[in-house]
Every structure is written in C-alpha cells, then in structure tokens.
C-alpha cells in the first residue's frame, strides 16, 4: 500500500485503483467508511490530482464507491452475487443471503401480450396475458423492477390474490406449476425515468436486464419476465466448464 511504480508500464491511476480495491476486499476499508480525500491520496502517492480522480471515478462507476456532495467518498456495501444458471426466485435468492425479500405491486392487469411477449410465451398476440409489474426489495432496499407476463388461461383468478409475496410460491401452491427449466439472457440497459424513480437511481443509470422464459413440468411456457436489476448492486456469475471433447 501507498507505493506506486512510476517507471513500469501499469498506469498510475490503475495501480491506485487496484490498491483501493484490495483494501476494500480485505476489509481494511469497510462499507460506509470514508476513503481518503483526493488531496490525501495525492500526497500519499506523490501523483497528480487528476490521476487520483481517475482511480476514484472508475471505482465509483463500477459501484464500489459513492460520493456525497460536501462530505467525501464512501465505500458501498458489496454487490449481491447471483448465479445466472439457477432457476431460482427472487424470494429464494434473498433468503439464501439472509435478506428479507419484499415486493411493491406497481401494476397488475390483464392485457394482450404484444409481439415479444406473445412469441416468448408461444401464444398468439391476441391471447390475453396477466401482466404484473413489481418493485423487488431486499431488506427494504430497492433492487429490481420486474415485469412478468403469463398466459391468462393458465393462471385464472391470479389478479384477485395477494401478490406481495413470492409469485413462484403462488404458481406452485395455487396452480400446481413446477418451474423446472427456462431460458435466460442478460443485457445492459439504461434506467428509464419510471424505473429510475422507484429504484432510487438517476435516469440513464446502467441496469442489468435479465429476460427469462420459464417452463413448467409439461414444458409449457408459463412466465416471460424482464427483470431490471440495479447495476450498482448486482453482479451475476456463471460457472464455466470446458468441453473436453
């Protein structure tokens, strides 16, 4: 710590960034701690303020730090890591981490699906679907906005139920669906103003959008969901296995 190699090929800002990151990972800098100011770091490493700023800006844009106007830069709580290949529910993922899941129902209605949802669910564009929009929270913190479409004929009466808890539990207990496989994709999107508002981020902030189509025990497409997770709070992981063929 506190030393940068000024002769080597590794950019100075990158060395400082790496050292700060290591301090966070080792727990020397904990969530909520204030990181040394630009001036302190400039003196400590004997580099320009621009260099220090670049390191801090990158750590901020990658979700490790956040700035509070007038009081400094602080360490964020670590991102939630979630495996991409598991067909789990939001509720299960939160319990697994010891967090309390909750939902706010933003809208619930029966609509016609439109092309994309119709294709994903393999139903005609004119066949009614139930559309739910929910804000998902972990111990009170907004994490994701989810829009789910389900063929209305498969979930009669769903709109009359209490939809503030786990949808997968309702699908299993009330309708007898076991969701046992699906397809999922991940892409980056910018938060639209409505999403930004409920997630508590600025419009345009990067979100990670998971699109999932889940099938039941008979192979029917039961759910098509777009889940937009806060990019500053989530990291998705996948285990890679090399094909030995």
* List 80, 155, 167, 199, residue binding ligand GLP (CB under 6 A): 167
Cα separations in angstroms, 35 against 54, 121, 227: 14, 48, 33
Does the footprint of ligand GLP cover residue 216 (CB under 6 A)?
Answer: no
Whole-number minimum distance, CB 89 to ligand GLP, in Å? 3
| CA angle, residues 92, 21, 42, in degrees to nearest 5 | 150
Does the footprint of ligand GLP cover residue 149 (CB under 6 A)?
Answer: no
The smaller minimum CB distance to ligand GLP, of residues 35 and 232, is found at: 232
Contact 163, 203 (CB under 8 A): no
* List 166, 199, 232, 233, residue binding ligand GLP (CB under 6 A): 166
How far is Cα 216 from Cα 236, in angstroms, rounded to an integer?
24
The smaller minimum CB distance to ligand GLP, of residues 17 and 212, is found at: 212
SS3 label, residue 113: coil
Residues binding ligand GLP: what is the number (CB under 6 A)? 14
* List 89, 119, 141, 205, residue binding ligand GLP (CB under 6 A): 89
Does the footprint of ligand GLP cover residue 212 (CB under 6 A)?
Answer: yes
Q: Are strands 234-237 and 80-83 parallel, antiparallel or unpaired?
A: parallel
CB burial of residue 191 (10 Å; 0-12, 13-18, 19+): buried
Does the footprint of ligand GLP cover residue 82 (CB under 6 A)?
Answer: no
Contact 21, 28 (CB under 8 A): no
Whole-number minimum distance, CB 5 to ligand GLP, in Å? 44
The smaller minimum CB distance to ligand GLP, of residues 53 and 220, is found at: 220
Which parts of this chain interact with ligand GLP (CB under 6 A)?
89-91, 146, 148, 166-169, 210, 212, 223, 225, 227
């Amino acid at each position: 710590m506190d030393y940068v190699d000024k002769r080597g090929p590794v950019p100075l800002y990158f060395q400082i960034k790496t050292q700060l990151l290591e301090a966070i990972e080792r727990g020397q800098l904990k969530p909520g701690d204030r990181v040394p100011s630009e001036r302190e770091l400039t003196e400590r490493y004997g580099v320009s303020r621009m260099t220090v700023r670049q390191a801090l800006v990158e750590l901020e844009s990658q979700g490790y730090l956040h700035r509070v106007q007038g009081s400094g830069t602080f360490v964020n709580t670590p991102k939630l890591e979630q495996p991409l290949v598991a067909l789990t529910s939001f509720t299960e993922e939160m319990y697994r981490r010891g967090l309390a899941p909750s939902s706010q129902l933003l809208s619930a209605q029966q609509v016609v699906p439109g092309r994309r949802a119709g294709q994903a669910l393999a139903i005609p564009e004119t066949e009614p679907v139930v559309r739910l929009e929910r804000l998902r929270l972990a111990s009170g913190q907004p994490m994701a906005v989810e829009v789910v479409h389900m063929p209305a004929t498969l979930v009669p009466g769903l709109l009359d139920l209490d939809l503030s808890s786990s949808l997968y539990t309702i699908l299993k207990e009330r309708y007898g669906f076991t969701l046992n496989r699906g397809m999922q994709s991940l892409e980056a999107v910018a938060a639209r103003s409505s999403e930004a508002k409920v997630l508590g981020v600025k419009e345009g902030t990067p979100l990670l959008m998971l699109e999932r189509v889940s099938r039941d025990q008979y192979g029917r497409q039961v759910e098509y969901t777009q889940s937009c997770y806060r990019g500053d709070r989530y990291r998705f992981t996948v285990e890679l296995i090399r094909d030995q063929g």
